[in-house]
Every structure is written in C-alpha cells, then in structure tokens.
Amino acid sequence: MKKIAVLGTGYVGLVSGTCFAEIGNQVICCDIDEGKILRLQQGEIPIYEPGLEDMVKKNQQEKRLSFTSDIPKAIQESEIIYLAVGTPMSESGEADLSYVKAAAKTIGQQLNSYKIIVNKSTVPVGTGKLVKSIIKEHVQDSCVDFDVVSNPEFLREGSALEDCMNMERAVIGADNDQAGQIIADLHEPFHTTIFRTDIESAEMIKYAANAFLATKISFINDIANICERVGADVTHVAEGMGMDSRIGSKFLQAGIGYGGSCFPKDTQALVHIAQEVGYDLKLVQSVIQTNEQQKYAVVHKAKEIMGDVNGKTIAVLGLAFKPNTDDIRYAPSLTVIPELIKAGANVKAFDPIAIPATQQEFSMKLSQEQQQNIAYSTDLYGVLEGSDACLILTEWQEVLQLDLEQAKSKLKVPLIIDGRNCFSLEMMLEKGFTYHSIGRPAVDRLRIPV
C-alpha cells in the first residue's frame, strides 16, 4: 500500500485516484476549489462517468479515499504525488502549463521527505524537467530529495473505469530506475503491460498516440466524403481496410469528427511543439483542418435537402461529444446548433445528461435571442414531435434503439440526417425515411419537396 496524493480532481485525477484506492492504496484527492471538494466529500460527483459514483462512495466508506483542499498537508503526508491538473489549450494552440507550474511550486514549498512526483496530465515534451526545476527552486530543505516521473493517461471518457482497472499498458518515463520501478510496482495490481522509457519519450508517446488516432478519424472522414461523390459505401470501405492487420478496424468509423478533452487539444499542442523546434507538421495540421470542416457536414446536408432551413424546426439528437459522458468540449453540437440558428432555424435538442453543460456554454457564446431559439429536453420523442427534420450528432443508446415507426409518426417529414451512421440503409428504405448519412448512398433522395 502506498500513500498517494492526487493534485486535481478533474476527469483524470478523480478517475485515477479512485482506481488507485480501489486496488488498496491510501489516496487523498486534492483541489484548490473548496466548493468542489465539499461536494465530493458529500458524495456528489462533478463529472458523469458510468460506475464512478459507486466506486468513489465505496472507497470513501472503506477509508481508502478522501478529499481535501488542504494541499500542503496532503503533500507532506504522501509518498507519491500525482499531478493531474488541467492543461487547457491556449490561444496559440500550446498547452497552458500555469496549473502545472503552480502545483510544482507548492510541492517544492511543502517537500518534507523523499517523494516521487508523477506527471499524469498531458504535458508538452520537457515538462518533466520544468517541474523538476521549479520544485528545486522552491524546496525549503536542499537535503530533501525527490524524483519526477511521467505516467501519461490513456482513459476514454465513458469507459474510463474499465480502461483504468483493465489498462492496456502503463507508460512510465523516469530518469531514476528506482523511482520508475516504484511506479511500475504501483501498477502491478492492474495486471497490465509496463513500458519503461525516459521522461521525454513518455511525454511524446501520449501526443503521438492521440494524434495518430485523430489522423485515422480524419482520414476515414475524407474517404467518406469521396465515397459520397463516387457512390461507394464508406462502412464497406472501412471494413475492408480494417481486415488488414497493419491498419486495424478501430477509429475507422466515419462521422462528423472528433471532439472531447483530448484529441482537439493534443493535436494542436503537438503542432505547436513541432513549430517550437522548427518543424512544419503538415500532416497533423491537415487532420485538424479536416476535422473542423467535417463538423459542418450535417448542416450542409440539411440545407441541400431542405433548400432553406429558415423558420424550420430541427430536432438535434445528442449534445455530448460522445455517448456516456456529459463532456461537451469541442463537441460537434457546439458548431452545428449555432449554424442552424444563424440560418434561421429553431432547434429542439435532446441529450440525456449534457443539457446543463450545453446551456452554460451557449449562455456565454450566443445572444439571448439566439438562445431562445433552442429548446432542450431529455424526452427523445418529444423533441421529434412536429420537427421538420432530425439530425443525429451523438450515438446515445436511446438513439441507437430509436423506434423508427414512432419517430416517423412524430416528425412532420420523415427526414433523418445521421452524423454517426446509426442505422442501416436497408432499414431506413424499408421504413420509408429520407435518410442521409456520412459516406454512404442517400436513401430516397427525392422524397423531400424543396
């Protein structure tokens, strides 16, 4: 059992800290936001992640997991300190390290015995050295030693607990073999593959992995756009490609682009890292550009099919960037809905859990008048009732299990524009829908009068 302090109770910190407690460690999760800590102490989870609330409460009850805003005390009482603070994207595209720097300064000021400081946050190459220098600068007793380790996270929102408890691999970058071994031993109960390397390589692995996955997504979306023009079906193309073991089938699902907390931020940060060392990373720049353009695909289709969306009511199914999360960061909905409103449409938006976050986001980005043109609901069929068209942006289970007969009876016109390719073309033809998806032939294109 290790005594662990996790600085930062965002997505990565809360999930990682809870999982470390679950395998038997003593974990203190810390945050400077006292209100957030108070809510966590009362069992209120600030993020939506299946199974997380139950695991947090279980480990609280079993006295392995606690929450505090007394960061100095948590640092002093712990053997291992995980940095899981936010690294948001700055205006220039680089990762904002202000929270990392502040945490490193606090660690230096409170260092009272040998500790291992582990970077869990996604940080640019060289951050390990930066953290080490900041701690050294602020340490009160120069005789007290410490080591810095990089241990990047690879959690997928919506399945983060499973990813952590059954992790594919743990990447551990360390300059001190003993410190690296301690962190490797910490991961032993996860029965995972341990990959040991230097700090800089570990930091780069995180960015390279995410950029590669984002590249697969943008690539298949580019192929999808070509498929629509030549009459091919991208789902068949992707399946045939995925059978090649050198390529694989994962992340080859065509749609309206990636979003969330990782891919948009990490691709931009990698481009900035390359620029800093004088390298023009054209491939990833193209990936970013393709992804931005892809978000507009369903809007272009709606205007093309309906002629004019001014005065029309459009049902939008899904606000979160993916199912099983309330995260709307860089979600396609944040692009699609304002575009529809700008074109004069009224929007009825469905999402089971991401409505509050979306309302808050739009309250800062849309005018009062524009906000009044959006009606939110967790009632899927209520949103479809009386709408002139339906746009699918998130493949929630409720959407995948949509009763098509009921949906058809609710819509004014049986028009679905599917940004996630949720349904088979054969089924939509059989049910009598005009159905446009991504990279596949349109179904009954001429049904809708302009």
For residue range 8-26, what is the model confidence (pLDDT) as tens digits? Answer: 999 999 999 999 999 999 9
* Residue in this structure with the two tokens 């390589």, named with its chain if needed: 201
Distance between CA 278 and CA 299 in Å, rounded? 38
Whether 304 and 284 map to the same domain: the answer is no
Distance between CA 254 and CA 440 in Å, rounded? 10
pLDDT of residue 392: 98
* Residue in this structure with the two tokens 């309302």, named with its chain if needed: 359
Asked which of 196-200, 259-263, 323-327, 443-447 is least confident by mean pLDDT, the reply is 443-447
Is pLDDT at 30 greater than 90 in this prediction? yes
pLDDT of residue 95: 87
Q: Please give the C-alpha separations between residue 175 and each of 97, 151, 199, 289, 298, in angstroms, as whole numbers.
A: 22, 13, 7, 37, 49
pLDDT of residue 285: 98
Domain that holds residue 285: 206-292
Average pLDDT over residues 365-382: 97
- Mean residue pLDDT of the chain comes to 95
Asked which of 65-69, 376-380, 442-446 is least confident by mean pLDDT, the reply is 442-446
* Collapsed DSSP state (helix, strand, coil) of residue 177: helix
Which residues is 169 bridged to in the sheet? 193
Q: Is 422 a catalytic residue?
A: no
Q: What's the pLDDT band for 78 if we cut at 50, 70, 90?
A: very high
For residue range 95-123, what is the model confidence (pLDDT) as tens digits? Answer: 899 999 999 999 999 999 999 999 999 99
Whether 258 and 158 map to the same domain: the answer is no
Whether 68 and 155 map to the same domain: the answer is yes
Average pLDDT over residues 133-144: 93
CATH of the domain at 409: 3.40.50.720
Q: What is the DSSP letter of 310?
A: T
Count how many domains the chain has.
3
pLDDT of residue 445: 52
Length of the chain: 450
pLDDT of residue 444: 77
Whether 92 and 158 map to the same domain: the answer is yes
pLDDT of residue 449: 41
Whether 319 and 288 map to the same domain: the answer is no
CATH of the domain at 220: 1.10.1040.10
Whether 64 and 181 map to the same domain: the answer is yes
The residue type found at 85 is V
Asked which of 107-111, 141-145, 344-348, 383-387 is least confident by mean pLDDT, the reply is 141-145
Which residues is 400 bridged to in the sheet? none
Whether 57 and 95 map to the same domain: the answer is yes
Q: What's the pLDDT band for 94 if we cut at 50, 70, 90?
A: confident
Decide if 149 contacts 114 (C-beta within 8 A). no
Domain C-terminal end among 197, 227, 255: 197
Is pLDDT at 74 greater than 50 in this prediction? yes
pLDDT of residue 157: 87
Whether 338 and 401 map to the same domain: the answer is yes
Which residues is 173 bridged to in the sheet? 150, 197
Helix or strand run (H / E) with residue 382: helix 380-384
pLDDT of residue 450: 37
Decide if 233 contacts 397 (C-beta within 8 A). no
* Collapsed DSSP state (helix, strand, coil) of residue 302: helix
pLDDT of residue 93: 81
Average pLDDT over residues 293-305: 96
Q: What's the pLDDT band for 128 if we cut at 50, 70, 90?
A: very high
Decide if 391 contacts 316 (C-beta within 8 A). yes
Whether 259 and 331 map to the same domain: the answer is no
Distance between CA 24 and CA 1 in Å, rounded? 6
Distance between CA 5 and CA 117 in Å, rounded? 10
Instruction: Report, in angstroms and rounded to the nearest whole number, the Rg of the chain calculated over CA atoms.
Output: 24
Whether 314 and 265 map to the same domain: the answer is no
Average pLDDT over residues 329-350: 97
Whether 302 and 270 map to the same domain: the answer is no
Domain C-terminal end among 149, 168, 197: 197
What is the β-pairing status of strands 389-392 and 313-317? parallel
Which of these is catalytic: 164, 262, 390, 422? 262
Domain C-terminal end among 257, 292, 327: 292
Average pLDDT over residues 128-146: 95
Average pLDDT over residues 136-157: 94
Decide if 353 contacts 326 (C-beta within 8 A). yes
Q: Provide the terminal-to-terminal Cα distance of the chain, rounded to the nearest Å.
A: 68
Is pLDDT at 155 greater than 60 in this prediction? yes
Average pLDDT over residues 302-322: 96
pLDDT above 70 covers a percentage of the chain that reads 99
Is pLDDT at 216 greater than 80 in this prediction? yes
Nearest to 335 by CA among 259, 223, 228, 387: 259
Is pLDDT at 196 greater than 50 in this prediction? yes
Whether 231 and 371 map to the same domain: the answer is no
pLDDT of residue 349: 98
